[in-house]
Structure 1
């Protein structure tokens, strides 16, 4: 848990946008992880398993509070949309479906590989690639109305 504490905290902050809520989330996820540690099939994927628990917890909290929160730093940090303001990205990402936001977050905020995302989402790698491509196109479309030809910058 100590090794992934920062990643889990960043995930919680990205979703919940409140330091107190993020700390509470970290405590709850730590409890859940220790309680269900036997469910981890391969130790090499412990990080993805923990992040998935955190994402699920945060989504539950957001649904409970009826808030829609996205991480506007995800893509800005990685320079994918250098010419767009955080406000444009925030508005565009709020319109995306939950799965698209999660995939973008895992890929660009947590730097997870396609294989790791597939393990978290329990689906084939090809499906993750398709969903990621679709999410990126949809985000671009919402930002500038095109959605064409920009994925080469990723």
Structure 2
């Protein structure tokens, strides 16, 4: 069964269709939540809350083709609200090593660099590069011309590159 048919059924109140959609986008929701919340417990809690919010407001979906974008946007908004309330700080590598967590910390460097950008730039980069949402879809979602989205995306990437260059990264041509 296609995604759009599942969305249409879910909008009409089919709980099985809604559940199938949530399983379909479970990984994308988790990646989004973990990129914002920085720990598994908070990310899982975010998924629970977003599932509830999506179920409660499924009838507001206007275009079934953009269900994933709608769902990810709910997740991003929820995570931002929680982070604003708690003003969490990014975990340092030494703290993680102290607790025996040893792994590649490149993602922490990227997340820390993203914190230097505005909320708008961070959301834009997240949608485009972490969730693979097309520029056309972002433009529709934000009711902004595609050219403007491309320009803002370019500026956000330039700002992100500048953060890494300040930290001593090799300048790329």
The whole-number CA distance in structure 2 between the counterparts of 1:68 and 1:97 is 16
Correspondence list, 1:22-101, <5 A? 22-67=43-88, 89-101=110-122
Distance change >3 Å, CA 87–CA 59, structure 1 → 2: closer
Q: Which residue of 2 aligns with 1:126?
A: 147
Q: For the structure 1 residues 43 and 5, does the alpha-carbon distance in structure 2 shift closer, same or farther, using more than 3 Å as the test?
A: same
TM normalised by structure 2 equals: 0.69
Shift of 1:126: 1.9
Correspondence for 2:156: 135
Q: Is the 8 A contact 1:62 1:68 kept in 2?
A: no
Gaps of 5+ in 1: 70-84
C-alpha root-mean-square deviation of aligned residues, in Å? 2.1
Instruction: Render the CA deviation track for 1:110-130: whole Å, top value 9, x for unaligned.
Output: 111101222333322222111
Instruction: Name the larger-Rg structure.
Output: 2
| CA contact 2:61–2:70 (8 Å) conserved in 1 | yes
Decide whether the 8 Å contact of 2:35 with 2:111 is kept in 1: no
Q: Which runs of 5+ in 2 are unaligned?
A: 1-21, 91-105
1:115 aligns with 2:121: no
Give the length in aligned residue pairs.
133
Q: CA deviation at 1:102?
A: 1.1
Q: TM-score with structure 1 length normalisation? A: 0.77
Q: 1:15 aligned to 2:33?
A: no
Q: Offset at 1:68?
A: 5.2
Once the two structures are overlaid, the 10-residue window that deviates more, 30-39 or 121-130, is: 121-130
